[in-house]
Structure 1
Amino acid sequence: MRGHRYNKQSGPTDNAMSGRTRWRCARRYYGCKAAALLSTLIESRKGYSALIYQGYRYNKESRATASTMYGRTRWRCVRRNNGESVLQGVQVYGQPLEDQDTLEMYPQEPRLPHGRAAESTATSLLFTTSKQGRPVLIYQGNRFNKEYSAKVKPTNARTRWRCVRKNRGCRAFVTSRKGKPMVQIGGHRYYRHSSRRVGGGGPQLWVCVKWSAGCRCSIKTFDGDVIVVNGSHTHDLLKPRYQYEC
């Protein structure tokens, strides 16, 4: 929430009696006293589940998004026409939140339209793997699978990623130069550290592509989420190396 992680407080509390859940800052053992209260799910008049959070009401988003691919559930404000906000939390639908689950709020971000050209200004790019262990690329909220074709030579330095909605007529694809795992955030790129490769999930260490030039900025991810940013960059923003084409 607002960039900070909260853990669910276990044990009986007065809030549990009122139908609310208390969340404590993950750094409480370091002296942080921050806490938050989250109301439980309620049922709307039409029988749908709704979420009341800090006095605002959110409805569950049913369409498939990059968040659901990470095991998350997205909740959109019922006032979506008046400055929409999104709640995104790790939650199994219809079940209570488990310990160490997170809840974060994000401002509404425009999604990249399928089947249309877009400029190469990627700031939301993530390599991950599917449940079957296949490489997957998440780009601006859309999901792409690595394309395997006999036309692509092994020596080709480029890799093409096809939209998962290809069978539904979407012709969008993303092209990367080397096809190596990489994270791009705010115009800066990070390569996965060679000594910290732990499959497709779990903790991952990524270092700036300018590491050999003296930049010691790095990030840590866990199951596709950035959890730690270390240091600051000592160079200018890099030009995008990924393009979205139709």
Structure 2
Amino acid sequence: MPPEYEFRGQEFAGILRPRIAKEGTVVTTRERNYGGGVIGALKKFEGGIESLLFNGRWLLVPFYLGLLLGLVVLVVKFVQEFIHLASIALDASLKDTTISLLELLDIVLLANLILIVIFSGYENFVSKIAVAQDAEDRPSWMGKVDFSGLKIKLIGSLVAISVIQLLAVFLEPDEMNTDHVFWMIIIHLTFVVSGVLFAVMDFIADKRAIIDIAAEKAALELQILEKEHGFEKGYAAKLDPTGQ
């Protein structure tokens, strides 16, 4: 891609938007040479700070490695629960078997959630996972879950886990504590409402982004027509007063 262009809105049809100054000249995004002296020194200092901040994203790696080790712990707990279920399979009632299976399902959902956070978080905030780019077993969602999608998947998994917890409690009515169940329902509804609000906010943000990109594209086309063909001179400036 030529350096004279910057990419805006990868998810919206790949619009290439030249950066045009008020005089109609193309402003490149190449790094400018600010020369020596105080200004040059300040720019070098600024570049060093920006490089430090950019590379600081690697400080997140230990967090994701810790989550990966957490998956190992979940595997151990899953094996323990499965061994317990297998040991009582012949003598346990259907209710007890169902509760044990719900506990296994709870662990599986939590493990899936951790894996999504690891992959999506690493690719969104640290670096692309190069070894998985052409892998045959690459998950279909990998590389497609941005920060907004990660929030939705996170809250969705929490809702599913809370439902399983509620179902396990309802299967044991004799041991049910009214206050405990009440707060579990409140927490579950809080997760549900939060998920709906997240989805609505993301929908509004996506619509706004589409409108902004369409407006930029229209203003750019008018500027090009005005410059090359004298089409309604000054109309583009009225549409985009900033002249950008």
TM-score between both structures, scaled by the size of structure 1: 0.23
Is the radius of gyration larger for structure 1 or structure 2? 2
Larger RCO (CA within 8 A; separation ≥ 6): 2
